[in-house]
Structures are given as C-alpha cells and as structure tokens.
Structure 1
C-alpha cells in the first residue's frame, strides 16, 4: 500500500519559541516541478508586532554581553550548521538548486558565520578612535549597536542571503526581526531551529514567513524599530518602507548583492547597523600635570 507523505509545517520563530501565526493562515509554496514544499505560516501584522516586542526585550542583555561571548555564540551557530549541513543541502535541492550549488551555498554560509564570529570582539578596536581636541578633554568615538533591526531577507536565495544579512547585524549586539524569502522559506525556518539550539538568547533573532508586504508595513512604522535592512528587489515595497521609516528617522540600509562574492562580507556590513557615539571626558591640570576625574 502507498502511504501519504507528511508535509512538514514550518512555524515561525518569536522570542525563542515556535508559535503558529496568530492569524491561523498558511500557504504552500511550490518548487519548479509544482510539488509542495511544506505548510508555511502566512504572518500577520500582529506577528510582526509580537516579534518586535520580543526583540526589544532581548536587546538589553544581548548588547551588554561581552563581545567575546557573542563571538563564541556565533561560532556555535556555525558548529550547528555544520552538523545539519545535509538537511540544508536537501532543502536547497527541494527548492530548485542543484546538488553542487546547494553544497557550495551551505558551505559558504557556514564560513560566513565563522568570519563574523571573528569580528565580534574586534569591531571596537578597529573602528574606535581617540580624537584630538583643543580643549582640556579626552575625546573618544566608538561604535555601539542601534537596537532592533528589521530585515527584509533577500528573496532570491534561501540561506546565503539570510545568513549574510542576519549574522553581521547580531554580531554587534543588535536584535533582529527577519521576514524570510516568501517562495524559498525552508532554510529560514530550519535556521531558526539552529538558532534555538545554539545558545542564542530568545528574542535576539525572530523569523517570520509569508508575504513580506503585510508584516513589513509594521516594521516601517513601528517606533521601536531602529533601522530597516532591505534585501527585497520590489521597488514598490522598498519605496514604501523608505517613506514609512521617516516617521522615526529609521536608518534604511540596502543589502542587495551577489552573496557569493568576496565583497558580500566585511566590516561595513557590521557598522552599517551601528551608531558612532562620541564621549567627552574632562581633564584637570594639577601642578603642571594632566589627570582625569
């Protein structure tokens, strides 16, 4: 007798848990052969709001962690990706990739996580500075995380684009709400399972699925979202987000590139979602010497 194959239900990831969308809606993306890939949650505005709340709650403790500890956690993500490499390759093949291309994409994704893990405790030293001033002050400039970052994932890739957008943003201490690729969502939800088992605190990474327009509108107008990273090639969606982001002066960053190239990773991918802050520290002349107080 033939058996009925069980199609996996891919749930969303908010605050370290895997709820179904509050709307109860789902959709079934198809591969190039017209075969169903799974039952995938079709997220609502309420889901996006819940994800922002979770991300804001997690920001304080995540940004205050030692940079070296964040580096360890990112490396743990790479370890878990390596252990589940075969599953990611299989999902990429199901979504239309060749076996060779899928293998290369997964390995490049793992290497990219390791690359950014190495940057976590070096960003401040490389980008910070002591500035010359004419007054009796020490003047320091240092990059600090912005807060909650909304990410519209690259819609043309399932894994490498997602990794390349999420990992540099959380490496600096930000938390994220990610809208996964609508038609290639499998790796995004499996990546959430990796995040959940990789020592990443709940709420640091929140992943939503479905049509990006509806939840994206919340990220654009939400006053507790500090920046938007655009990975979509939809001119209408991007224009709408730029307009709505002006309400609370969100920074809008475009990350649309060939993720396989060397310039798809680098220090600027980290600092794009950080703020440069300057501190003035007064000094006092005592007996011809200079001391701080």
Structure 2
C-alpha cells in the first residue's frame, strides 16, 4: 500500500499579456519580465505597430458613436471596476486610489455629451453667414502612463482622450504594470469596441521612440516620461510628423485634484465651418 506524501503546492504563475485590438496577445518577441512574482509581456517595436494599426481601425467607429453612447460605455467601465475593487487592492493599489479611479471614470462619462457644447461656439462674422467652431477628435493618441499612480494616474490620462472620440496606445509603467493590464481586463468586458484602448507593457525607453515617430499617431502624451533626455528625444521624433505633444509635468502631479478640461481639450482639433444664412 503506497503512502500519500504531502507536498507543498506550487501556485500557477500568471502571465500578463498585452491588450491590442480588444484581445490579449503575447508579445511577438516572446519576451517577458518578472513583476510581483508574475510574468509580464515585454513589448517590442512590432507590438507598437500592431497597436497603432488597431487604434487607427477603431477611430472611425468610436468617434462616430454618439456622445451619449460613449458616456454609457465609460460608465460601464466604472461599474465593472467597482465589481473588481478588491482585486486591485490585492495588487497593491490603495482602497482610496481605487475609489478615486472609479469616480474619475464616472466624471469623464458625464462630460461625453457636454464637452462639445463647452468648447464649441458660434463666432460673430460680418455677412450673411453662420460661422461655427466645432471640436473634433485628434485621432490616435500615444500615451506614456505615469509611474507614481498606477491606477488613478492611468485612468486620468486614458479617459480624457477616449471620451472625446480618440483611440489610444498606452505604454504602462514598467515597474507597476499589473494594475494596468488588470484594467485592460475590465475594459475588455465593458462594451468598449476593440482597438479604442491598446495597452503595452515593458520598457518605455524601448517602445516610446517608435510610438513618437510613427506617422499614423496624431498626438503624444509624455506625462509618464521621467527622463528629461528621453522626453526631449521623443518630442523631436514627434516633430517629424507634426504631432501634438503634451509635455511631462515639471513636478509631481496630484492625481486626486480636479482634472479640469485641459486634457480633453488637448486632444481635440477645432474645426471651423461656414454656412450661408438666409437667401
């Protein structure tokens, strides 16, 4: 009769993949790195290109959706995030940060059908014409996520670009990517069309230059770049294709403060149209 030997069970180590086009592929390079005893995909240049292709394909449908529908989807993200609150806390986010992140989604959801009215306006002109300024989405926005707030900071840079009709390619913080990829799992189950948000993990110093120089990226948010030399080189690369660039803050950012309309306005283009009035 064989004896039963008690052996300690080895937990299955989770591999966090990329989030591209609404799916979770591994990096085409096959590389990973270890964070909090989990494997995290190390994105490559090819992954950046795939993410930009997915974002570009999603822009037309997302920007063409009604503002009310975009608000519904952002609110749904908040609902799903609320349901997974404990999971984010277990990953190291403070309960206060998770609550702030949920509220931030709700706040931006409420702006979806109001921002055009606030930023757009009729202009006084001489002659029998209507002259209207209408804000429109910029297109594909590349974002380097802030390192000091892995969830609230991430939400605070993604949501304002999304709510105004842009699609985004986000480079998560290298040292704290787990909350970002877990947020991607929330987005994947929140009615968000594939490609509106694409999230890559790994080294920003390796992937950000390809995002900055990519001709099909319309704007660049460098909030998470902490190296001044890297920020300058990325801005120079972006200038080659006339991208709109949001520079890193000169000091620490208080992500709990009122975000205001600045980030939404940054990634919108003002379109002016003329229309004859009367006969």
TM-score where L is the length of structure 2: 0.94
Of 244-253 and 135-144, deviating more is 135-144
Residues 20-39 of structure 1: pairs in structure 2 closer than 5 A: 20-29=26-35, 36-39=36-39
Per the alignment, residue 99 of structure 1 pairs with none
After superposition, the C-alpha distances for 1:7-65 in whole angstroms (9 at most, x for unaligned) are 21000000010000000011113xxxxxx431000100000000000000000000000
Per the alignment, residue 77 of structure 1 pairs with 77
> Is contact 1:157–1:181 with CA below 8 Å preserved after alignment?
no
Per the alignment, residue 185 of structure 1 pairs with 177
Per the alignment, residue 276 of structure 1 pairs with 270
CA shift, 1:157, in A, is 2.2
Q: Note if 1:205 corresponds to 2:197.
A: yes
Per the alignment, residue 118 of structure 1 pairs with 110
CA shift, 1:146, in A, is 0.4
After superposition, the C-alpha distances for 1:206-240 in whole angstroms (9 at most, x for unaligned) are 00000012221111111100000012212122111
In 2, Cα distance between the equivalents of 1:237 and 1:106?
30
Q: 1:274 to 1:168 in 2, by over 3 A?
A: same
Instruction: Report SS of the residue matched to 1:275.
Output: strand
> Is contact 1:142–1:276 with CA below 8 Å preserved after alignment?
yes
Per the alignment, residue 128 of structure 2 pairs with 136
Per the alignment, residue 172 of structure 1 pairs with 164
In 2, Cα distance between the equivalents of 1:61 and 1:3?
48
Identify unmatched segments of 5+ residues in structure 1.
30-35, 94-101, 284-289
CA shift, 1:255, in A, is 5.5
TM-score where L is the length of structure 1: 0.90
Residues 236-255 of structure 1: pairs in structure 2 closer than 5 A: 236-254=229-247
Per the alignment, residue 151 of structure 1 pairs with 143
Structure 1 vs Structure 2 CA RMSD: 1.2
Aligned residues: 270
Instruction: Report SS of the residue matched to 2:100.
Output: helix
Q: Note if 1:261 corresponds to 2:256.
A: yes
